[in-house]
Amino acid sequence: MKKFLLRGASFWAIGLALLVGVNHLYVNTNGYKSLDETFKFYLMPDGIQVANFGSSHGAYGFDYRGLEGITGFNFGLPGQSLHYDLELLKRYGDRLAEGCTVLIPVSYFSFDQKKDSYNQRLIYYRLLDFKAVNNHRWEEYVRLRLLPILSASFNAKFLLKDKKDISFNIYWMYDLLNVHYAPDDIEGYRQNAKRHLEYFQAITGQGENEAYNTKCLEEMIEYCRENGFRPVLLTMPFTRYYNEMFGEEFHREFRAKIKRLCEKHGVPYYDYSQDPRITENLEFFMDSNHLGPEGSKAFTRMVLSDLGLI
């Protein structure tokens, strides 16, 4: 019996060692690092001079490639809440240069967004410490962070033939759903705005999250101040068809909240939501409220110019 148990334990130990070994090889492949929008975190430079955060509005809205003399990085991810903006800032703050300009987009849903809307936590196990993830669960952490070889996304082909580089099409959902509006497709933009309003309502509460999200935003500002960074609040550009979905009362209350925060903390705020320099050019947009490749390049240069950085 003793020999049987020892033999079983030996097989178990060998199996575990093989699992850990193959897992180690897998997580170091370009294929694994290119699974989703988090690919860019494997390409993060040191000495970041300009960093932006934010949800999909930020993720699609900034592109620092081709800018001479500026090291920028886009921390934005689809659905990202202020909680994860804050946690990413704290986790990767050591990659920011002294005096780094930290751009903090505040979208219309930012203050009321639920803490764990649409299970966004799943992608953050790869980026953050366990306790920094809202509603963290050990089984998810093991499967998605420690042993991703056990996850549904595991793809053995990368162990046999890896990708040449770390890359990911951030517009994959637009391509999958064939969402490509022509500049004269006004009805298409309007219908898209209505659908996004439904999404807005799905990921927000009825005011119960405002205090927590405001606290996260204020902590970001304080963290920047304590570490020698320059915090800047802004609202991204949207098409008129998206802005029309929100009434005048909503816009007044939203701006009032921002104004109170800026006065309290002495931070600047730039409102690009209806800036005609970019919002009137539909060729810059992928849909009613997200910038496309050319729009993100133009907008990034506009913001940096307004801030006197270029």
Inside any domain, residue 242: yes
Inside any domain, residue 191: yes
pLDDT of amino acid 53:
99
Q: How many helices (H) and strands (E) does the chain have?
A: 14, 5
Query: Which parts of the chain fold into alpha helices (H)?
Result: 2-27, 30-33, 56-61, 82-92, 121-124, 138-141, 157-160, 172-176, 186-203, 210-226, 240-243, 248-265, 276-279, 293-306
Inside any domain, residue 295: yes
As a whole number of angstroms, the distance between CA 158 and CA 94 comes to: 31
pLDDT of amino acid 207:
67
Q: What is the pLDDT of residues 6-37, one digit of tens each?
A: 666 676 778 778 889 999 999 999 999 999 99
Inside any domain, residue 29: no
Inside any domain, residue 1: no
- What is the domain count for the chain? 1
Domain extent, residue 114, equals 49-138+165-306
| Positions of the chain with pLDDT under 50 | none
Q: Token digits for 187?
A: 């009805």
Q: What is the pLDDT of residues 42-92, one digit of tens each?
A: 999 999 999 999 999 999 999 999 999 999 999 999 999 999 999 999 999
Whole-structure pTM value: 0.93
Question: Which residues face 231 on adjacent strands?
Answer: 102
pLDDT of amino acid 14:
84
Inside any domain, residue 38: no
Inside any domain, residue 24: no
Q: What is the CATH number of the domain that holds 225?
A: 3.40.50.1110
Inside any domain, residue 248: yes
pLDDT of amino acid 118:
52
